[in-house]
Amino acid sequence: MPKHAPTPFRRRKSTRAALAAGVVAALGAGVLFTQADASSGDTRPRAARNVTTPATAEPTPPATARPTTAPKTTAAARPTTAPKPATTRRTTTAPKATTAPKATAPAGPTAAKVALPTANAQFDYQIGGAYTPPKNVGVVSRDRTAKPAAGLYTICYVNAFQTQPDALDWWETNHPDLLLRDRSGAPVQDEDWGEVLLDTSTADRRERLAKIVGGWIDGCAKSGFQAVEPDNLDSYERSGNRLTKQHNAAFARLLAQRAHAAGLAIGQKNTTELLPERRTIGFDFAVAEECGQYEECEAYAAAYANRVYVIEYTGTGYGRACADWGGTLSIVQRDLDVSAPGGSYRYRAC
């Protein structure tokens, strides 16, 4: 889903510490589960931001068309008091003695041919609006409609598995059969965001979706980004069992192939359930929201050789992540709106 204005973060968390611990155990033991083959129907199109044919590209509303709303979070995750004033000074807090199993290098099909972000580089998450990064930041994530940060490793945010609310009419007009529908024919929505899920359930639909979303990814490369993070990888959890983990893994594999072909690295966005499939999908690093809050950082660190870029939204999650992984992973705390300086803006890094 393309974002055409400051867009809040989209937290898709349903996993808990027990699951993360199981993933770590599997990684440490060398266990590797394979995803469904692409031939089973798991291929999502990459929406063409720079495609010249209107029929295959999602419309680009004016920047004012998308309001800045508070990002999704759970009631338990929202802080009850405002966090202390943010700072931009990066400290080097050593992780706890109990660390993850020995990390293994990412093994995407063409990972060696793309530039990977530096592990433990200071990070900033700017998907809600681009601005001059704080001093010492080396890695930035921005929306695909923004320009990359000059001189910095910049990750391109793409909503690949759901529609933008203001783009639903375009999908209904041009690709109605690529929207996931219930038995009555009504589109299946992510109610928290007012977004309709894209249908990754068949190979044909995935291939067609991949042409659309792939155009967006190509646009990221053309703009000068070094990597892409496709969001809503876990949309199957909101599908009412109409989609499976294997469907989305197969579509993610198509996106990874497209990203690598464009010279971009690709990051796994959340979803610890798919860490075992990371190699067959082709992910190169991870962008993890609230892994400190949910005690999942260890799983990501083990899977991606510490190339993990963490965003926390609560003081509790930030403190825990920094105490355990501050000297190993790239960790920031952002405000819930992921806004530019001014208003509710908050940024600090450990």
In the chain, where are the structural domains located? 17-59+87-349
pLDDT in tens, the chain (350 residues): 333 333 334 443 333 344 444 544 445 444 333 333 333 333 332 233 233 333 345 654 333 333 333 333 333 333 333 333 333 333 333 333 334 334 444 444 444 589 999 999 999 999 999 999 999 999 999 999 999 999 999 999 999 999 988 889 999 999 999 999 999 999 999 988 889 999 999 999 999 999 999 999 999 999 999 999 999 999 999 999 999 999 999 999 999 999 999 999 999 999 999 999 999 999 999 999 999 999 999 999 999 999 999 999 999 999 999 999 999 999 999 999 999 998 899 999 99
110 torsion bin: left (phi>0), alpha (psi -120 to 50), beta (else) = alpha
Residue 229 is which amino acid? E
CATH number 3.20.20 given to 17-59+87-349: yes
User: How far is it, in rounded angstroms, from Cα 342 to Cα 8?
Assistant: 15
User: How far is it, in rounded angstroms, from Cα 331 to Cα 283?
Assistant: 20
CA 192 to chain centre: 17
Entry pTM: 0.73
Q: In the numeric block, which tokens belong to residue 83? A: 């966090």
Q: Which residues of 323-340 are buried (b: 16+ CB within 10 A; e: fewer)?
A: ebbbebbbbbbbbbbbbe
Closest CA to 329 of 121, 135, 100: 121
Strand partners, 187: 181
User: Residue with structure tokens 């600090």?
Assistant: 348
Q: In the chain, what is the straight-line distance between the N-terminal and C-terminal CA atoms, in Å?
A: 31
Please give the pLDDT value at position 58: 63
Please give the pLDDT value at position 319: 97
